[in-house]
Amino acid sequence: DPRGIYTCQAEDKQQSLQVYYRMCQNCIEVDAPTISGIVIADVVATVFLAVAVYCITGQDKGRMSRASDRQNLIANEQVYQ
């Protein structure tokens, strides 16, 4: 426990410093390889998701839509309601 009063003495001078430091009981230490692994996994997952979305949406390009842009006009004999 690093809390407490620390004193520094140099020749005829004395300085005191009171430290309030709270230690984390349930913390885990994360080092650089762990962080880089998380970042790389996130980038790979994002690229995989982007490729999957591209492949799924790209399948409809080859097919023609059955719906036509033309509208059927009403014949003159029919009553417009």
- Is the CA virtual torsion 57, 61, 66, 71 positive or negative? positive
Per-residue pLDDT of 4-58, as tens digits, reads 888 888 888 888 888 887 777 777 788 899 999 999 999 999 999 999 999 988 7
Residue 63's pLDDT is 54
Residue 48's pLDDT is 97
Which of 27, 29, 51, 47 lies closest to 39, judged by CA?
47
Residue 37's pLDDT is 95
| Domain regions of the chain by residue span | 28-62
